[in-house]
Structures are given as structure tokens and as C-alpha cells.
Amino acid sequence: MQSAAEASDSPLTERQRDVLDAALGLLVEAGDALTMTSVARRASCSKETLYKWFGDRDGLLTATVQWQASKVRGVTVRRDGLDLASLTSGLERFASDWLRVLSGKISVALNRVAVSHAGSDKRDLGAIVLENGPFAMARRLMPLLEVGRDAGLLAFDDTEDAFRTFFGLVVRDVQIRLLLGDRFELTDVAIDGEARRATQQFFALYGAHTNAAG
Amino acid sequence: MQSAAEASDSPLTERQRDVLDAALGLLVEAGDALTMTSVARRASCSKETLYKWFGDRDGLLTATVQWQASKVRGVTVRRDGLDLASLTSGLERFASDWLRVLSGKISVALNRVAVSHAGSDKRDLGAIVLENGPFAMARRLMPLLEVGRDAGLLAFDDTEDAFRTFFGLVVRDVQIRLLLGDRFELTDVAIDGEARRATQQFFALYGAHTNAAG
DNA sequence: ACCGAACCGTAACGTACGGTACGGCAATTG
DNA sequence: CAATTGCCGTACCGTACGTTACGGTTCGGT
């Protein structure tokens, strides 16, 4: 009868959002060593309240991941202006944003905890991260790719396959290295360069003027 | 005074290797829920022996990861026969082997536990996995790429950059999806197809007959 | 046959942490 | 102003697990 934010996506109160932000910060700092007591202390709330609101530790983690996911969502790509330049800049911006999110401390921490809990039979954090990470990227990017194909700028048969190649060209080994704790300097200018390279290579593979082999 | 296999890489006894194999199996089945008691039971040895040999739980995990790493090592690529066909088949075989290892249960389990422990201030499992995973792949593949360039078959400036692109083309989103627990069917024929596609795309980007843009 | 080392099995210890209970306070409601 | 509600702070409980200790057994060396 209680448990406001556990199973349903009822809107969170501001206090609850503050608590989840505290949990998020702690997750970034301490990783999976995050304890209920530490969250309660950081958020200046009682453990009882945590359990009333989120059910159990897993519910708190789930709510935290979803809360972060709800923040990132919404940067949709406009699909008007179908010329080559705007498609190129659209892909570049996309790749750039993606790398920026991917290499952020919050993303790394969230992916870490989701990977840690994957395979467990409890609530699947991995599915949530997957849904709001790669899959969300696919849902947003694939329409753009198809618009580009309809405009005669790109050539491919399988949209998902094209997306996954773009993913590979953008991310390469960055994410796994970050997750495994490799010290990694990825400045803003480096990210922009990576985005440009990936986009250029993608056009080399899927541009309509080159070939259509898939 | 004791601790045979903790810090140094003194050769393991057969019994120790059996114990580590048991730990490995348990790691695949239970993931990070692996307990010292379960390892002792599975390996039919006493906990006292585990602590004498490996120091503590972290030492056992480290030894297990290193033990698996020592098994995989050694599949080097021959670099004679520098024609296009052998280079192509070499890259394809490389990509195929890599995907096969990457999608194996053991690799997934090891990467999971390494990611879970990354950022911890104890022994860095992430570094070990990184060293025997992506970095080992780079060390083995980059010479082959350079041989291909010297033979006039490939064109690139930065070898590491070329390798990382190959990595992206081969792995794409497979690894992160596996780590996050996405149910994933990757049959042997699918892997071979992926390897062929990645190699073909790599030649499209870095083949000497196409362009040399980097 | 005897000794000591290595090791098995198990019991026991300490602690950390998830989860619960309870007393007190502040705000809201009637 | 009494009553209810919601929440903080803290103490508490149960348990799981890392770690240690110890008695009993096997086995190679002398």
C-alpha cells in the first residue's frame, strides 16, 4: 500500500529526487560498496524512509538508475534538412554527445553496478541500463539513418546492422577500458575528433556514393 | 614465508591449478557471489589451504583470473605470406577467435568480476583482464597490421588507431550487451559472418587501394 | 616405525550490513 | 488544542561471509 516509487513510475517527490541524487553521488564515489546506511546519512533521511519508499536495497538501486536515465533522455535529433552537411553534423553531434555521456563518471558507475548485478535473478539493472543506453541510442539514431537513406545519402540493407557498425566506430574500446578501470584522458576536443573520425568512416562504409556492400 | 602463488608467479602445482579451475567454474556459475566456503567445497580442499596459498579472497580471485589468462595466451598469428589473401584470412581468423572468446561464458564471467572490482583500491583485476584482453589483442594484431602496411596492402598512420578501429568493427556492441546480461545468440556461423564483415569493412577503410584518410 | 609437514573438515569468531522497531519532533488537519 | 501523519535518528536483530583455529589424517623422508 505504500512504496511510492518502487514498481510503478509514479512521479517522485522533490525529497525523493534529492535522496536519489545522494544515492547517485554515492554510487559514483563508492560503487557497489554503497550501503543503505551511507545513503541515509548522505541524504539526511532515515533508513526506515528508504525502505518505505524503495522497498529494499535493490529497489533503491533500480530507482536510482531509472532516475538518472530519466535525466538523460530527450535529446532527440531533428530530421529536417536532409542534405549531406546536416546529416554529417547530426551524426557527429550524436557521436560526440554519446561519447561524452559514455565517458562520464555517472555513466561508468551506473554501467559498473549494472554489470555487477547482471545474471542475478533479482530486478535486472542490466536491462534498464541497456534500455536507456545502447537501445535508446539505437531508437534515436536509426530513424535518422533511414531518413538519410531515403534522401539517397546512405546505402544499407539492415538498419540495425548499420547502427551497430556506427556504434562500433564511435565507441571502439573506450567503454570497456573505462569499465575495467583504465585511466583514460578523453578531453572535449578529443571527443569531437573521435566523433568526426567515426562519422567520416561511417560515410566511407555506408555513403551512397561509395558502395552498398553489406 | 608461505603464500606460494600470491604475489610472485611461481609455477602452480597441479593441485593448485585444480583448485583454481574449481574457482573458475564457480565464478562462471555464481559470478561474484563466489564464496570461500563454496570454493573449498567444490575443490575438496580446506579453507585454511586457500588462505595459505592465496592470502585472501582477493588473492584467490586474482590468481583465478591470471590462471585463465595463462591458458588463453599463445595463439600467435604467423606473419609470413604477405599477399592479400593471407592477410585477409589472418584478420578474419583473428576476429573470429576474438569474438568466440569474448562471447564465451568464462570471458563474460571474468570481465564481470573485473568490472565489479574496478576502482577498488585493492589488487586491480581490471588491469589484469585489460592486459590479457584488449591489450593482448593489440600486441598480437598490430604487428600483423604493420606487416600488411609494409607490404603495401594497408595504409594508415597510427597503428594503434587502426587497431582500435578494427576492434570497434569486430566487437561493436556485442561485449557490452553480453556484460549487461542481454540474452544473445551468437552461433559459430554468425561469428564467422561477423568476422568477414569486420575484415571487409576494415579493408574498405584502411586498404591501400581505397584511400588513406585517417 | 617414527616424525613432521601438508592438508582436510569443521567449528568458531568478528564484523559488516540489510532490514526492523521504536521514541521523539515538526507539520498538518479538524 | 488534540490527534494524526510523516519522517529523523538510533538502537537493535539476524545472517552471511571472510578469516582463524584446531583436531584428525595422509604421506614422504629417515
pLDDT tens digits for range A35-81: 999 999 999 999 999 999 999 999 999 999 999 988 876 556 666 66
| B169 → closest Cβ in A31, A165, A179 | A165
Q: Which three cell numbers stand for residue A86?
A: 546536416
Between A21 and A1, the higher pLDDT residue = A21
Q: Is the CB of B4 under 7 A from strand D?
A: no
> In Å, what is the separation between the CA of A34 and the C1' of C18?
12
Nucleotides of C under 7 A from a protein CB: 7-11, 16-23
Length of chain B: 214
Say if CB A212 and CB A156 are below 8 A apart.
yes
Q: What is the ipTM of this complex?
A: 0.90
- Whether B213 and A205 lie within 8 Å, measured CB to CB: no
What is the distance between the alpha carbons of residues B36 and B50, in angstroms, rounded to a whole number?
A: 8
> In Å, what is the separation between the CA of B55 and the C1' of D16?
21
Between A159 and B14, the higher pLDDT residue = A159
What φ, ψ does residue A207 adopt, rounded to 5°?
Answer: -65, 140
Please name which of B214, B200, B211, B212 lies closest in space to residue B87, comparing C-alpha atoms. B200
Residue A1 has pLDDT above 80, yes or no: no
Q: A209 in contact with B at a CB cutoff of 8 Å?
A: no
Domains and CATH numbers, chain B: 14-71 (1.10.10.60), 77-206 (1.10.357.10)
Residues B41, B42, B46, CA angle at the centre, nearest 5°? 40
A205–chain B nearest CA distance, Å: 7
Q: What is the DSSP string of chain A?
A: ---TTSSS-PPPPHHHHHHHHHHHHHHHHHGGG--HHHHHHHHT--HHHHHHHHSSHHHHHHHHHHHHHHHHTT-PPP----SHHHHHHHHHHHHHHHHHHHTSHHHHHHHHHHHHHTT-SSS-HHHHHHHHTHHHHHHHHHHHHHHHHHTTSB--S-HHHHHHHHHHHHHTTHHHHHHTT------HHHHHHHHHHHHHHHHHHHBTTT----
pLDDT tens, residue by residue, A12-38: 888 999 999 999 999 999 998 899 999
Confidence of residue A184 (pLDDT cuts 50, 70, 90): confident
Q: Which three cell numbers stand for residue A192?
A: 569531437
Q: What is the mean pLDDT of chain A?
A: 89
Residue A172 has pLDDT above 80, yes or no: yes
Cβ-based contacts (< 7 Å) between A 36-65 and strand D: 40, 44-49, 52
> In Å, what is the separation between the CA of B125 and the C1' of D25?
37
Confidence of residue A7 (pLDDT cuts 50, 70, 90): very low
Q: Is the CB of B2 under 7 A from strand D?
A: no
Tell me which chain B residues have a C-beta less than 8 angstroms from the C-beta of A179. 115, 118, 126, 179
Residue A129 has pLDDT above 60, yes or no: yes
Tell me which chain A residues have a C-beta less than 8 angstroms from the C-beta of B199. none
Q: What is the pLDDT of residue A47?
A: 94
What φ, ψ does residue A81 adopt, rounded to 5°?
Answer: 75, 85
Q: Is the CB of A57 under 7 A from strand C?
A: yes
- Whether A181 and B124 lie within 8 Å, measured CB to CB: yes
End-to-end CA distance of chain A: 54
What is the distance between the alpha carbons of residues B99 and B91, in angstroms, rounded to a whole number?
A: 12
Q: What is the pLDDT of residue B18?
A: 94
Q: What is the pLDDT of residue B74?
A: 57
> In Å, what is the separation between the CA of A52 and the C1' of C21?
14
Q: What is the pLDDT of residue B200?
A: 97
Please name which of B112, B81, B78, B76 lies closest in space to residue B97, comparing C-alpha atoms. B76
Confidence of residue A11 (pLDDT cuts 50, 70, 90): confident
Encoded amino acid at B145, one letter = L
B67–chain A nearest CA distance, Å: 18
Average pLDDT over residues A179-207: 96
Q: Which three cell numbers stand for residue A131?
A: 534500455
Q: What is the pLDDT of residue B40?
A: 94
Encoded amino acid at B142, one letter = M
Please name which of A95, A99, A114, A102 lies closest in space to residue B182, comparing C-alpha atoms. A114
Taking residue B65's Cβ as centre, other Cβ atoms within 10 Å add up to: 25
Please name which of B61, B14, B71 lies closest in space to residue B39, comparing C-alpha atoms. B61
Tell me which chain B residues have a C-beta less than 8 angstroms from the C-beta of A170. 168
Confidence of residue A213 (pLDDT cuts 50, 70, 90): very low
Q: What is the pLDDT of residue A14?
A: 87
Q: Chain B residue closest to A196 (CA)?
A: B214
Q: What is the pLDDT of residue A79?
A: 66
- Whether B168 and A170 lie within 8 Å, measured CB to CB: yes
Q: What is the pLDDT of residue A70?
A: 86
Please name which of A140, A107, A109, A103 lies closest in space to residue A26, comparing C-alpha atoms. A109
Q: What is the pLDDT of residue B79?
A: 65
Mean pLDDT in consecutive groups of 10 residues from the start of chain B, 214 residues: 47 90 94 92 93 94 92 66 88 94 95 90 87 92 93 96 98 97 92 98 90 45
A112–chain B nearest CA distance, Å: 6
pLDDT tens, residue by residue, B132-183: 999 999 999 999 999 999 999 999 999 999 999 999 999 999 999 999 999 8
Q: Is the CB of B49 under 7 A from strand C?
A: yes
Q: How far is CA A145 from CA A29, A205, A206, in A?
A: 38, 13, 10
Strands in B18-127 per DSSP E = none
CA quadruple B25, B30, B36, B38: dihedral sign = negative
